[in-house]
């Protein structure tokens, strides 16, 4: 390679970040729709309903009667909506070729979604334990874990969108 030739190195950080946002969005949707946030013997609770088993039948009631459960649901839905906006914004900007201008905006959206999700995921077990008088062993199940997984993927993609790889993509490098 001579002195006058320019070598371009493809760094797929933004594509990996876009994939992470997509995975976070998928995990978030599955977590929101999951029926298994808290399970115990003869008890199951999701974001939408709480079910108890008596004899041979399950009786379900809505969980949207207490303020903390509504707040958790609103925070998670807001985080998912912000993640969807960030995903669409990143996808459009990467496809249109105007991606350098909008990396920071997508990162801010994603970090906002991380804060919303983390607040909801910390609020949920604290208030559940505070308000429920379960006399048996209970555990936070895979629906709750998927919420944390989505939050971790959002954080990772937000960090990847913050990386300044554009200064290495210029012709002067």
Residue 150 lies in a domain: yes
Residue 41 lies in a domain: no
Range of the domain at 157: 23-34+64-169
Residue 117 lies in a domain: yes
Residue 147 lies in a domain: yes
Residue 7 lies in a domain: no
Residue 145 lies in a domain: yes
For 108, half-sphere exposure in the C-beta direction (CA atoms, 13 angstrom radius) is 4
SS3 content of the chain, % helix, strand, coil (to 5): 65, 10, 25
Residue 114 lies in a domain: yes
Residue 49 lies in a domain: no
Count of domains for the chain: 1
pTM: 0.82
- Tell me the pLDDT of the chain (173 aa) as tens digits: 555 555 444 567 788 888 999 999 999 999 999 888 888 887 888 888 888 888 788 888 888 888 888 999 999 999 999 999 999 988 888 887 765 677 888 889 999 999 999 999 999 888 888 876 656 677 888 999 999 999 999 999 999 888 766 555 444 43
Do 77 and 67 contact (CB within 8 A), yes or no? no
């Amino acid at each position: 390679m001579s002195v006058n030739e320019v070598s371009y190195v493809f760094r797929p950080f933004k594509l990996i970040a876009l994939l992470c946002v997509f995975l976070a969005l998928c995990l978030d949707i599955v977590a929101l729709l999951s029926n298994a946030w808290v399970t115990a013997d003869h008890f199951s609770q999701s974001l939408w309903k709480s079910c108890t088993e008596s004899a041979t039948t399950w009786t379900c009631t809505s969980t949207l009667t207490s303020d903390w459960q509504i707040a958790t649901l609103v925070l998670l839905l807001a985080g998912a909506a912000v993640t969807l906006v960030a995903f669409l914004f990143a996808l459009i900007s990467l496809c249109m070729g105007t991606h350098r201008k909008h990396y920071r905006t997508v990162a801010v959206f994603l970090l906002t979604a991380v804060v919303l999700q983390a607040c909801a995921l910390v609020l949920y077990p604290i208030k559940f334990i505070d308000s429920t008088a379960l006399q048996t062993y209970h555990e936070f199940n895979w629906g709750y874990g998927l919420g944390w997984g989505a939050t971790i993927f959002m954080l990772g993609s937000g960090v990847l969108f913050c990386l300044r790889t554009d200064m290495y993509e210029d012709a002067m490098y």
